[in-house]
Amino acid sequence: MTTAKIRVLATGGTIAGSAGSALQRGYAPGQIGIDAMMASVAELGLDAELDGIDIAAVGSQDIGWRDWQALHREIAAATSDDGISGIIVTHGTDTAEETALLLDLTHPATKPVVLVGAMRPADAVGSDGMRNFANAVRVAGDHMAAGRGVLVVMGDSIFAAIDVRKAATSSIDAFRGFPRGALGMVTPLTLDWFGPPDRPGAAARFAWPDALPHVEVVYAHAGMDAGLVEGALSRGARGIVLAGMGQGNAPTTVLDALEAAVKRGALVVRASRVDEGSVDRNLEVDDDARGFVASRSHNPQKARILAQLLVASGITDPLAAQAHFDRR
């Protein structure tokens, strides 16, 4: 068996965090360098050669365009390097689903790209970081991981970027998948896929943009008025994602303001503030008449990433945009 050669791109997060005490609740993310992390996982004796690049050392709430540009550049280079079997991105959990989807939509599904994080810092009692990292090494080094797009490995589960979401604030098993659950299960010793790759050899859906356009998420609530919509437009938003009630709904005055935003050239996507479920077209809201897009299985934060790529690609016609939200 050929030893897998894996490129590790580190961005910080809890997986590289330190509390200074095994019982300390608070901690600082991104305190442990990638060399130290790779040395620790090397001691486990996994059949892999790792080399690492530090991209950032931040909590993922601070991940932004510059970090995404660096990740894109390094993933593209590793993908074109015949000597590299797979890529791991260490990442904070708060925005892991957003980074994963952005990378998934802008890179070909030819080599495994695996995001991994932790829910507890490295020096906490019961830290999950090293196990998750070891699991990510096993996944990234497996040839069956290719052709599945970007993957997220957390809590012994493997999720597709398009399905994954953070569903709990602090549990070790905080990540879930919708509409699909996990694609497989992994431990440092075992790896079981629940089905074959569904995107073998698929090209990137979008070219990497020069910049991500301004798209805002507007959170619906009882008694809201249209001020949040007007505020987003006044700040130059080229798209608005509604984190709507239930099936992506909002008060009529808000829907009217969103319809007016469409007429001014904005891409408007209806998503839901509900944790799980699809937002479908023309149920409670007449999307055809108002010019809206239904987010389907994309939650608001993922809908924003896809909307940004659509606007950056010049795709603002509602039906053309809908085709991308419908696509798996």
How does pLDDT run across 190-217, given as a tens digit for each residue? 999 999 999 999 999 999 999 999 999 9
Phi-psi region of 145 (alpha: psi -120 to 50; beta: other; left: phi over 0): alpha
What's the pLDDT score for residue 15? 82
Distance CA(184)–CA(51), nearest Å, equals 25
| Residues 255, 131 share a domain | no
Is pLDDT of 232 > 80?
A: yes
- The arithmetic mean of pLDDT across residues 166-185, rounded, is 95
Question: Is there a domain that residue 129 lies in?
Answer: yes
Q: Which two tokens stand for residue 262?
A: 């469409």
What are the Cα distances from residue 233, in Å, to 214, 220, 304, 317?
10, 16, 15, 18
The band of 34, judged by pLDDT with boundaries at 50, 70 and 90, is: confident
* Domain shared by 242 and 178, yes or no: no
Whole-prediction pTM value? 0.94
122, 184: one domain: yes
Distance CA 143, CA 121 (A): 30
Q: The CATH number of the domain where 239 resides is what?
A: 3.40.50.40
Residue in 213, 262, 205, 263 with CA at minimum distance from that of residue 236? 213
pLDDT of residue 128: 86
Confirm whether 36 is domain-assigned.
yes
Contacts of 98 (CB under 8 A, 6+ apart): 301, 302, 304, 305
User: Is 99 annotated for ligand binding?
Assistant: no
- Look at the chain and report how many structural domains it folds into: 2
Q: Which of 14, 90, 99, 106 is catalytic?
A: 14
Cα torsion 52, 145, 117, 63 to 10°: value is 70
Average pLDDT, the chain: 93
- What is the total residue count of the chain? 328
Tell me which residue range forms the domain holding 225: 215-326
Is 106 tagged catalytic? Answer: no
pLDDT-based confidence at 284, cuts 50/70/90? very high
Q: How far lies 191's CA from each of 34, 145, 266, in Å? A: 24, 10, 45
**Cβ proximity of 298 and 328 under 8 Å:** no
Q: Based on DSSP, count helices (H) and strands (E) in the chain, helices before strands.
A: 9, 14
**23 has a pLDDT exceeding 70:** no
% of the chain with per-residue pLDDT over 90: 82
Does one domain contain both 230 and 171? no
Cross-strand pairs, 191? 186
pLDDT for the residue numbered 27: 60
Which pLDDT tens digit goes with each residue over 93-106? 999 999 999 999 99
207 in a domain, yes or no?
no
115 and 34 in a common domain: yes
165 falls within a domain: yes
239 & 149 share domain: no
Q: Is 93 annotated as a binding residue?
A: yes
> Does 198 map to a domain?
no
CATH code for the domain of 149: 3.40.50.1170
Give a yes or no: residue 295 inside a domain: yes
